[in-house]
A and B are shown apart, each in its own frame.
Chain A
Amino acid sequence: MRERFISGFDYFVLPFMIGMIFVILWCIIGLIKIIVQLERADRIKLYKSLVNPVIIAKNFRDLFYDSLLHVKLWKRNKVLGYMHSSIAFGWFMLIVIGHIETFLYIPERGGLFYYPIFFRYFMAVESTTLKGSLLFFLMDFFLLVVLSGIILAIIKRFRSKLMGMRRTTKLTLLDRVGLYSLWAIFPLRLIAEGFTAGVGGGSFLTVPVNWLFASILSKPENFTIAWWAYSIALGTFMMVLPFTRYMHIPAEILLIPLKNAGLRVRRPRKGYALAELYTCPSCGVCLDACPMSVDKAGLKNTTVYYIRQLKRRNQPRALAIADKCLMCGKCSVLCPINISAIDLRLALRKQQPYNIKQDFSYLDKLPNGALTSAISVGGEKVLYYAGCMSSLTPTISQSVQKVLTNADIDFTLMDSQGTVCCGRPLLLSGRTEEAKKLIEKNTRIIKESGVPILLVSCAICYRIFKEDYNLEGVQVMHYTEYFEQLAAEGVIKLRKRELRYVYHDPCELGRGCGIYDAPRNALSRVAELVPATKERKESICCGGSLGSLTLTHEERGRITENSIRNLTANSPDRIVTACPLCMKTFSKQSDIKVVDFAQVIAESLIEEEE
């Protein structure tokens, strides 16, 4: 194998080179910007992570599995998984093998960006070796892989339903330019390499193309045009890349180490958040995931459009979307890069100048024991926090007390005379500092009671107690966990009934705290549990969420309707949920009876004979 040109250069590489240099400069500037914007503590965390062998290993693993192979996408949708990994991994391999070729045959050209890319143009085959054939075969093979991915991508663009996606994102103009140039790159490469295959060599794909051209074209040697077209497609793609969704390709390489270093979103557009914004591939998985998309108008409030508005610095629209969100977290869970959709919105809410200067000094005057009342039977001690909502759903607190009494558990009602809110609603409204006041007060009440177990029957409260309270020495338990434990230990005995239940995973409990099994195990003890169409981490928000600040009554109603439809697919006798707000929301619209978890357990108790 020898070089065809002494200069090792041709003008057609210029579009590619300009694009390549532009992208690299852009990414370097972006990287510096993000690192500068990080808070000091975060930056130190990042640097430390870069020398930590465990995190380094994890970074490489994630890069390989997520960026190249798209393992998460495979798990969810095989066709989409194949489409993405064929393009990403195939392209990556083409670049790698191109470099291997260059370094094997012309090591002195290794420093040139363009050389491995246009290797076939610059080379001429003199004799066939096994090594060369193998490399040529691999190049053609990966080109075929990428081309198959591109064909799937084209089908997906026009018939997204075939790929299991009901909706896809609306593309911006530049996204389209990027998309079409991406589609063009590999067919053009095939054509260009097909033209040169007679001189530069090829394998099972490019050689037949070469024969084809030779048979239909009079002057098949005139192939520079094809290489120009290939280079221009590459150049165009890279020139628009920073302004399109394809920015996710380089951005994800940065996001993975940032995420693995334990960084989180702090400000809506800066530092870690900026890395996330660029990593969003606009794939549109969040469109189908979002409960608000039951309304066509709700689609514009999904995460992909929120990110687009943030990037465009369209503050009013971004704010409107941030305020509308139910904060159910489903899009984050399904997102291929698990974007922090909730944190990104909370960050913007926190910046809101609401001018509300909350003053909770009245709580300081309140004695810590003023609201509690103890019911003593002698046994394990539990402090039961029913939460604000419980007075609107008396069944829950009554049922919890019935179960505790049956189990001979000593319990103290933490808020029988009035409730100090857990603080989660304030937190969800972006009022972090104010929420701290309530957290402090409740912490004092809990600590003063000296009770080792805090039992919570509200999923919303449970989440903040778990995440934002510092309750050392106190075990925080959701009643689903606690009752399941009591049943497993035989402290309470339950009878099974001929009923079919469906369990609704409250957002805050399931996706929020990862509790999926305890309620299901307990319910399986008392009835047959039938599945909902979407459940566990894919459960659909009831529509009542405190997360949304601006959804109207009517919009919420339609979300609720959809959520009920999802639950009742297997015609259960009852809908069981484990959050007072879900219960309240469902029961006003459901034809099927909605009951709370505690009520189900309380009704199934076998009373011990004295």
Chain B
Amino acid sequence: MKRNVLIIGGGPAGIEASRKIRDFGHTPILIEKESHLGGHLAKWHKLFPDGESTEELLNSLTSDMDGIKWFTDTDIVSINKLKHLYVAICSNGISIQADALLFTTGFSLFPAEKKEEYGYGIYNHVITNADLEDFFNTGEDPRIKDPKVIGFVHCVGSRDEKAGNRQCSKVCCATAIKQACEMKELYPDATVYCFYMDLRMFGRKYEDLYLNAQRKYGILFVRGRVSEVSENIEGRLVVKAEDTLIGKPIRVTMDLLVLMAGMSPNDENREIASMTGVHLGEDGFFMPRDMLFRTTESHSKGIFFAGAATGPKTIPETLNEARAAAMAIDHYFKQEV
């Protein structure tokens, strides 16, 4: 018997899970609140560690969507449980009966203006990692004007109790270094600094990326968290941090500062949790059954997770988890019979 699976969130996890669920012989229905599929990935330009094009990855993900019903610009209004079925009412008026739910709701990008001391939205030359990717895509950003000195601030809204996010966002270190190298290619004469607390280059080839940034691009690494940014009379940015390895406060004048906004739990997680009874962790991300073995299952029967909905993840981790969730759902259906 064919079963319906409602997948909420059309980012890489949602797309990949839909495809695999279809391959298992079930009917995936994919809901995306924005007007296009791809989530945050669609806004990116290139990916670490090798600089693979996002567009190509998305193309191959969405090349084969036959048999998947998907709706964009659609929000979930309510979810109710009826015996073994979930009934979801969507903002476009349709209601969906599903035998299983898969939350691929991903993350929200940390709003960098919350770290007011970094001056995002206040000073003219402070941008975020997402803004920079947009610049790589479009080639346009009035805030980037032939910068001579560029700084990258790691951990903006990550590992920061004061920002309400204790967790490490996992991908920003590698992203910062990737972006630093890209900027250096665009502006070979620029001096590029990375301000980090700890460099977490944990994946295969990430260390190569770091090595390349040092050797090939001459990126300068400062171990110290930026404490405050001000603007001088010429409109340049004055960045203050402590160089913790030298053990002295430093002050650098810059033309562009890129804030590596981290991954916050999706703003809607709380609402989803109250609608469906799935557990939220203290950090605001969804809590799977356990953190080792059943990472795609929730505490509620018939509800599953994949991707950054349960914490920051890289693209390959997200895609693998999407496939794992599809398998877990198929397994769940087989047990149900």
Contact = CB atoms under 8 A, between A and B. Distances in A.
Given A398-B122, A588-B162, A589-B164, A392 B116 contact: yes
B228 interface: yes
A391 B116 contact: no
Nearest to A389: B117
Interface in A379-393: 391-393
A588 B116 CA distance: 10
B122 A391 contact: no
B224 interface: no
Chain A's interface: helix, strand, loop or mixed, by majority? Answer: helix
Interface string A552-592: 01000000000000000000000000000000100111000
Contacts of A398: 122
A219 B188 CA distance: 114
Interface string B151-164: 00000000001111
B295 interface: no
Interface in B185-244: 228-231
B161 A587 contact: no
8 smallest beta-carbon distances between A and B, as pairs: A392-B117, A391-B228, A393-B116, A394-B122, A394-B119, A588-B162, A395-B122, A553-B161
9 contacts: A391-B230, A392-B117, A393-B116, A394-B123, A394-B228, A395-B116, A584-B116, A588-B162, A588-B164
A374 to B, nearest CB: 13
Contacts of B114: 587-588
Contacts of A588: 114, 162-164
Q: What is the size category of the interface that chain B forms with chain A?
A: 10 to 19
A589 B163 CA distance: 8
B117 A394 contact: yes
A385 to B, nearest CB: 16
A584 B119 CA distance: 13
Query: Which has the most chain B C-beta neighbours within 10 Å: A392, A394, A587, A589?
Result: A394
Contacts of B231: 394
Interface in B156-186: 161-164
Nearest to A373: B233
Given A588-B114, A588-B162, A589-B164, A392 B228 contact: yes
Interface string A362-405: 00000000000000000000000000000111110010000000
A398 B231 CA distance: 10
A503 to B, nearest CB: 20
Nearest to B229: A394
B117 A391 contact: yes
Contacts of A553: 161
Nearest to B118: A394
Contact of A587 (B116, B119, B123, B228): B116
Interface string A58-80: 00000000000000000000000
Interface in A587-609: 587-589
B210 to A, nearest CB: 31
A58 B317 CA distance: 77
Interface in B123-159: 123
A23 B37 CA distance: 83
A589 B114 CA distance: 10
A447 to B, nearest CB: 27
A584 B117 CA distance: 10
Contacts of B116: 392-395, 584, 587
Contact of B230 (A394, A584, A587, A589): A394
Interface in B95-130: 114, 116-117, 119, 122-123
Contacts of B228: 391-392, 394
Nearest to A398: B122
Contact of A393 (B117, B162, B164, B229): B117
Nearest to B116: A393
A391 B122 CA distance: 13
A161 to B, nearest CB: 29
Contacts of A587: 114, 116
A533 B315 CA distance: 47
Contacts of B117: 391-394
Contacts of B230: 391, 394
Given A391-B228, A395-B116, A553-B161, 8 more contacts: A391-B230, A392-B116, A393-B116, A394-B117, A394-B122, A394-B231, A587-B114, A588-B114
A393 to B, nearest CB: 6
Nearest to A553: B161
Contacts of B229: 394
A354 B164 CA distance: 32
B96 to A, nearest CB: 29
A391 B114 CA distance: 14
